[in-house]
């Protein structure tokens, strides 16, 4: 029997009202599955809805519609009181290690917060032991526990953020662009830290990023989002070897290639123009204002996500 996935997102929708008859379609009918112990990379430009999707899944935002099935249980419309024990199973690592840590709290107190909220320690000593062990696991030491966030570098602050997220040993961690605010030299260290932890503990990650190069080395499966919708999803290698959606091809063409001959040889068209407004989007394919292959039907009908090859789903009229 196949193991049950840790997370199934089904037709998830999140609209924000921004005035009379005006709604931002931040997340629009998004469905995907995160396999247990694996990483699903959710990719798209800034403003495409990936962070809203993550925050809706973890119930920072209330979903408008759809299901969020965590470990077999639909948590999409649970009340906050019902969610309390479930929150221990899912934690979040935030993008900005400068803004996400309370400047008035010591590192010890920051990491102690989730332990206290979920009453998981038998004694003060038990709590200290857990905090010091977690600091060691993320590459810090017990000596760092008494310091404040401003005393650390960006990479060290993100390690504190990771320690706070992992100290409860959650089954699902939502990593919301956890390395994009860090120096390039530090990014690989943080990615390796997350991978090592996953291999040791079997944790599942939903890894949010704005470019495909970043998720290549961490993801087992990838989903590409555009203007609130998932436009392509499949296994990670497949999306790099056989991208189908014009937007995915454009994103891939934005990845710098070191070899100039290879760079010249690639025939991907790139992406021109800006992301359109997500307020009351027009009918038709959301990408049609920027797509070099747009045809008349693209301006009238929004293509559904369909299986174009085994396990490879794409929303584009070119594949119907």
User: Cβ 245 to ligand SF4, closest distance in Å?
Assistant: 6
The distance of closest approach from Cβ of residue 288 to ligand SF4 in the complex, given in angstroms and rounded to an integer, is 4
Residues 6+ apart with CB under 8 A from 255: 211, 212, 213
C-alpha distances (whole Å) from 187 to each of 127, 192, 215, 238 are 29, 9, 12, 24
Residue keyed to tokens 């396999």: 35
Q: What's the rounded Cα separation, in Å, for the pair 219 and 237?
A: 9
Q: How far is the CB of 294 from ligand SF4 (least distance, A)?
A: 4
C-beta of 86 vs 318, nearer to ligand SF4? 318
Say which DSSP state 319 is in: G
Which strand (E) or helix (H) includes residue 155?
helix 154-166
Positions touching ligand SF4 (CB under 6 A) are 245-246, 285, 287-288, 291, 293-294, 298, 303, 316-318
Closer residue to ligand SF4 (CB): 100 or 229? 229
8-13-17 Cα angle (round to 5): 155
| CB nearer ligand SF4, residue 135 or residue 291 | 291
Comparison of 159 and 286: residue with beta carbon closer to ligand SF4: 286
199 SS3 class: helix
From CA 60, how far away is CA 78, in angstroms rounded? 12
- 93 forms bridges with which residues in the sheet? 175
* Identity of the residue, 161 or 303, whose beta carbon is nearer to ligand SF4 in the bound complex: 303
Identity of the residue, 49 or 178, whose beta carbon is nearer to ligand SF4 in the bound complex: 49
Q: Which CB, 197 or 287, lies closer to ligand SF4?
A: 287
Contact between 223 and 238 under an 8 Å Cβ cutoff? The reply is no
Token pair for residue 133? 């062990």
Q: How far is the CB of 287 from ligand SF4 (least distance, A)?
A: 4
Shortest distance in whole angstroms from residue 266 CB to ligand SF4: 19
For residues 26 and 66, the answer to whether their CB atoms sit within 8 Å is no
Beta strands 7-19; 65-70: pairing state: antiparallel
Task: Tell me the closest approach of the beta carbon of residue 226 to ligand SF4, in angstroms.
Answer: 9
CB of 293 to ligand SF4, least distance (A): 4
């Amino acid at each position: 029997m196949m193991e049950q996935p840790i997370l199934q997102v089904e037709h998830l929708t999140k609209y924000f009202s921004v005035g009379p008859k005006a709604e931002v379609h931040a997340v629009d009918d998004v469905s995907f599955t995160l396999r247990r112990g694996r990483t699903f990379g959710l990719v798209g430009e800034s403003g495409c809805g990936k962070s809203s999707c993550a925050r809706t899944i973890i119930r920072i935002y209330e979903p408008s519609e759809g299901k969020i099935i965590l470990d077999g249980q639909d948590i999409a419309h649970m009340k906050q009181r019902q969610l309390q024990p479930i929150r221990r199973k899912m934690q979040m690592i935030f993008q900005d290690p400068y803004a996400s840590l309370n400047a008035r709290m010591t590192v010890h107190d920051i990491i102690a917060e989730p332990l206290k909220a979920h009453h998981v320690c038998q004694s003060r000593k038990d709590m200290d032991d857990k905090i010091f062990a977690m600091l060691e696991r993320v590459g810090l030491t017990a000596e760092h526990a008494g310091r404040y966030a401003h005393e650390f570098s960006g990479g060290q602050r993100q390690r504190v953020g990771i320690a706070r997220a992992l100290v409860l040993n959650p089954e699902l961690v939502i990593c919301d662009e956890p390395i994009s605010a860090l120096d390039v030299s530090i990014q690989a260290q943080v990615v390796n830290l997350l991978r090592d932890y996953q291999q040791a503990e079997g944790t599942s990650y939903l890894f949010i990023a704005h470019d495909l190069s970043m998720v290549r080395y961490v993801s087992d499966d990838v989903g590409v989002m555009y203007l609130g919708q998932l436009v392509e999803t499949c296994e990670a290698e497949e999306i790099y070897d056989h991208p189908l959606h014009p937007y995915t091809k454009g994103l891939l063409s934005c990845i710098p290639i070191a070899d100039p001959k290879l760079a010249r040889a690639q025939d991907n068209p790139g992406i021109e123009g800006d992301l359109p407004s997500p307020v009351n989007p027009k009918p038709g394919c959301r990408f049609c204002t920027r797509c070099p292959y747009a045809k008349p039907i693209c301006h009238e009908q929004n293509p559904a996500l369909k299986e174009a090859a085994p396990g490879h789903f794409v929303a584009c009229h070119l594949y119907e």
